[in-house]
Chain A
Amino acid sequence: MTGTALEYDDGSRTRVDRARAFAQADRHSRRVRRWRRVIILGSSVAVAGFVAALFFNPFSQLPQNVSIGPATLNGTKVTMELPKLSGYRADGKPYEVRAKSGVQDIRKPKVIELNEIEARIRTADDASVNINAPRGIYDSAADTMQLMSDASDGRIRITSSSGYDILLKSASMQFKEGTMASEEPVTVRMNNGTVASDRLDIVEKGTVVVFSGNVKSTLYPDAGMKADDSAASESKDGK
């Protein structure tokens, strides 16, 4: 493609120049066709690759400590059977969260909604705390879990091998610090007594339970006394 200058005089010279210009244009359009093919081909390969990556390894975004059963994908929602999330708190004590099923939206992979949850936490003094809840939302970025129970009687249950047994309507848990809070009325059976209050916090990695607001508790001095006969003794209290 030499830069030949075109002179404007008629006769034979212009025919030659015209042929050369024609050849140039032909070469150019062939090049354009080639580039078009390359672009189309390239982009389709890229799309295929993305879909494949998505489909075959959709969970690259999930926290590594996750193991799951069979998963089904519909729309952007992935439903997992028997997910199990585990990890270690800052003080090295383990925690583990299992559920019957988990639902995760691909666009928000850090958040997993879990059903029929069973969580186990080792407290700082090595008591083991078990948490059962009908539903919860686990946020792996913040390592927190919101527990919910639609049933009015509060079907979230937290028991500790060292002696407390808690019934809750809702709770939010921070696994890393090993703390838990519930802003709704709560009832607890503990040592041999029961405690009810407006709010509950479990702090110090599960070793301290704080009840605040309207605390009402019943203590049985003798281990022998059973919780159920408290109503009886209250009613016939007057001499």
Chain B
Amino acid sequence: QKTASPVLPGGNSKAPVNVDANKLEYFDKEQKAVYSGGVVARQGDGTMRATTLTVFFDKDSSPTGGTATSGNQLKRIEAAGPVTIVEKERVGTGDRGIYERAENKVYLIGNPTLSECGNVVKGDKDSRLIYDLTNNRAQISGRVSSTFIPGGGNCGEKATQKPSGRTN
């Protein structure tokens, strides 16, 4: 199911993910890379900020073990320290973040907030903000409290767009 889809909400699937940080440790054996110190990950219009970001690759099972740029794929990303995801007008925050390539979703876990055009939806420590990357929708599961600002807040030119955050 190699559907090409973005890694970050708001990202475009073709673009690579650019990750900048103060430090990066690459663990060859465990096939993981740990970014730390003011981590900023960008793809297309999506930007994720965190204190640490751990990227897990899954060793391509090709028998030849692969050449220098063997096809070990990005499998999963874990972000720690307050995580914020910003794409155009939508901003999501949470204590921790997880990107699961197989599920094609990004989760912000622990006191998530989703705000768009001035409208803010908040969850408690057990709830999650779930970004579905295939249709770029975001929603918070679990107990939420919402504040809506009549008149669409400060979305500027796109005042008519309804906030897509849904409570369930």
Q: Do A160 and B12 touch across chains, with their CB atoms under 8 A apart?
A: no
Interface size class of A (residues with CB under 8 A): 35 or more
CA of A162 to CA of B31 in the docked complex: distance in angstroms?
Answer: 9
Task: State in angstroms the CA–CA spacing of A221 and B76 once bound together.
Answer: 10
**Using a Cβ–Cβ cut-off of 8 Å, how many residues does chain B contribute to the interface with A?**
38
- Which chain B residues lie closer than 8 Å to A206 at the CB level? 28
**Nearest-Cβ distance from residue A205 to partner chain B, whole angstroms:** 10
Instruction: Indicate whether B70 reaches chain A with its CB closer than 8 angstroms.
Output: yes
What residue of chain B has the Cβ atom nearest to residue A193's Cβ? B16
A57 to chain B, nearest CB (A): 44
CA distance A128 to B115 in the complex (A): 50
A195 within 8 A of partner (CB): yes
**Cβ–Cβ contact B25 & A210, under 8 A:** yes
Interface residues of A in 207-223 (CB under 8 A from B): 207-223
Bound-complex Cα distance A81 to B71 (A): 40
* Closest Cβ–Cβ distance, residue A221 to chain B (whole Å): 5
Say whether, besides A163-B70, A222-B4, A210 and B15 are in contact (CB < 8 Å).
no
Residues of B within 8 A of A (CB): 2, 4, 7, 12, 14-29, 31, 33, 35, 44-45, 55, 57, 60, 65-66, 68-74, 101
Return 11 A-B CB contacts under 8 Å, by A number.
A125-B28, A163-B66, A163-B70, A190-B33, A208-B25, A209-B28, A219-B55, A220-B74, A230-B16, A234-B15, A237-B15
